[in-house]
Amino acid sequence: MSDEKMITKFIQEGCKIELQALERSRTLGADAPQRTYTTKIYDILTEDTMEVLMPMEQGRLILLPVDQEFDAVIYGPTSLYQCVVRVIDRYKTDNLFILLLEFASNLRKYQRREYYRFSCVLEMDSRNLAEEEIEDLENRRPGEELNLQPGLPLKRSVIVDISGGGLRFVSTQEYAVDSFIFCSYKLNIKGERKQYDLVGKVLAVKELENRRGNYEHRVQYYNIPRDVREEIIKYIFEEERKSLKK
């Protein structure tokens, strides 16, 4: 077997993989709901086969049936990929329970309708956009840099999940739905702390039941440059890989 595998240019061991059965299985039950099983790649053996860890739920192994086909979404180093895989064997190696999967279709880039949300705890400063800034926002083309006013007072917030499409954060400041807000936070990019000053549109707000006076906001980025979005997505993939290795 050649040491060089073309497929490893796109996916690698340790990558997260989600599996969803293409058809109802007798083993899983004909009336069972379509469930997504999350695990990670253990080893890529050839261009056509790879080993993944057998998925677990609440400490119990999920014995996915041999010969069953699954729709697979793989979180590669920089992109999502989709393919159809078939379970061709199950066994134990190095005290790990393994599924041997065969690629039943070509690997292709996959775009979700919604970006993957990465759970985190990140400090953020935020504020409402001033009227002049909103006017400037409406006159800008997508991806064009906005003229943001410096020195306006900011409110401390905490990001609880982040994606290439937006973020969710908690603050004692309650922002109105459909309002535009300024969001400023830092991410570790290639070992350096990089600041992101972005505009978001508030999609939803709710007061936390167990923490009165604290409000959870769901925000969609507005007018975000494409290269900035891709940089945030790469950050999320890198942090996800670190988490899986642990």
Q: Given this model, what pLDDT does residue 143 score? A: 64
pLDDT, mean of residues 218-237: 87
Q: Given this model, what pLDDT does residue 201 score? A: 93
Q: For the segment 127-173, what is each residue's pLDDT rounded down to a tens digit?
A: 999 999 988 887 777 667 778 888 899 999 999 999 888 999 999 99
Among 172, 44, 145, 39, which residue's Cα sits nearest to residue 101?
A: 44
Interior/surface letters 136-160, b for 16+ CB within 10 angstroms, e for the rest: bbeeeeeeeebebeeeeeeeebebb
Q: For the segment 86-124, what is each residue's pLDDT rounded down to a tens digit?
A: 999 999 998 999 999 999 888 888 765 556 788 899 999
> What pTM did the predictor assign?
0.56
The hierarchical CATH code for the domain 118-245 is 2.40.10.220
The hierarchical CATH code for the domain 6-109 is 2.30.110.70
* Burial bucket for residue 213 (CB in 10 Å: 0-12, 13-18, 19+): exposed
Q: Given this model, what pLDDT does residue 108 score? A: 83
- Domain locations in the chain as residue ranges: 6-109, 118-245
Q: Label residue 244 by pLDDT band (50, 70, 90).
A: low
